[in-house]
Amino acid sequence: MITEQQKMWMREAIALSSRNVDNGGGPFGAVIVKDGKIVAHGANRVTADNDPTAHAEVNAIRMAATKLGTFDLSGCEIYTSCEPCPMCLSAIYWAHIDRIYYGNTQYDAKAINFDDSFIYNELSLAPQHRNIPAERLLGEEAIATFNKWRDKDDKIEY
């Protein structure tokens, strides 16, 4: 059951997205909550910062990780004004965030020309069949570093 507090956090993400439009950014906002408190917020700053990775969710994750002093955001929830794109969804999974709440859907985003369906389609293709060609190069040499990592006793797993 959704609580009034959760609605308040979602409204904050939506308000961030609206203010961001007024400040030259895209219509996306996100907040990260831990233990009943907002620990981070983010807005889409792709065009404002000339950074294609500066999506609201990624910016909020960066802020939360810095503020909490950890790359593992287990115990956190993210409230985002729109269903996360493939990059943001991946970042949320990598950060180990427990739950995602979103306002607009990917189809709502597509209706205003934020269409990520081509990326979803690309992910299902073999690398050599994608629009941006990908080819393995020097795999036999690159594997040495992976073996070094595998054998390292004092590594921090993530």
User: Can you tell me whether residue 155 is helix, strand or coil?
Assistant: coil
Q: By the 8 A CB rule, do 63 and 92 touch?
A: no
SS3 readout for 84-137 = CCHHHHHHHHHHCCCEEEEEECHHHHHHCCCCCHHHHHHHCCCHHHCCCCCCCC
Q: Which of 12, 57, 135, 140 is catalytic?
A: 57
Q: By the 8 A CB rule, do 56 and 42 touch?
A: yes
User: Can you tell me whether residue 46 is helix, strand or coil?
Assistant: helix
Q: By the 8 A CB rule, do 86 and 64 touch?
A: no
Instruction: Determine whether 157 is an active site residue.
Output: no
- Which residues are tagged catalytic? 57
